[in-house]
Amino acid sequence: MNHPHSQATDNLFKAILTLETVEECYNFFEDACTIKEIIEIAQRFEVAGLLKQGVSYAQISKETGASTATISRVNRCLTYGSDGYNTVLARLSEKENK
């Protein structure tokens, strides 16, 4: 898998890590991304959560509007990716269970 490692990308991720509230995230991402990009990222994240819950592709597509190609791509990332989705989903689950 290709990684976009660069100083500029490092700086972006460091900047994201400084955000402290959901509102700050909205403000930053609305400035940095198009609304469509934000919606697409949110959709993929929602798909990842549903896949981890064992929901079928058909039901995920119905619930999220994601194509089966998008669902398949997210599933590949969950299985063979860098563990980004898995890490974040596990941390969110831990927070919810506290």
- Residue 18: what pLDDT? 98
pLDDT over 70 (residue 1): no
Give the percent of the chain with pLDDT over 90.
92
pTM equals: 0.89
Q: What is the pLDDT of residues 14-71, one digit of tens each?
A: 999 999 999 999 999 999 999 999 999 999 999 999 999 999 999 999 999 999 999 9
pLDDT over 90 (residue 86): yes
SS (H, E, C) 16-69: HHCCCCHHHHHHHHHHHCCHHHHHHHHHHHHHHHHHHCCCCHHHHHHHHCCCHH
Q: Which residue ranges form the domains of the chain, and what is each CATH number?
A: 7-96 (1.10.1270.10)
Tokens of 33: 């991304």
State whether residue 67 is helix, strand or coil. coil
∠ CA 59-87-49, rounded to 5°: 10
**E strand or H helix at 63, and its extent?**
helix 57-64
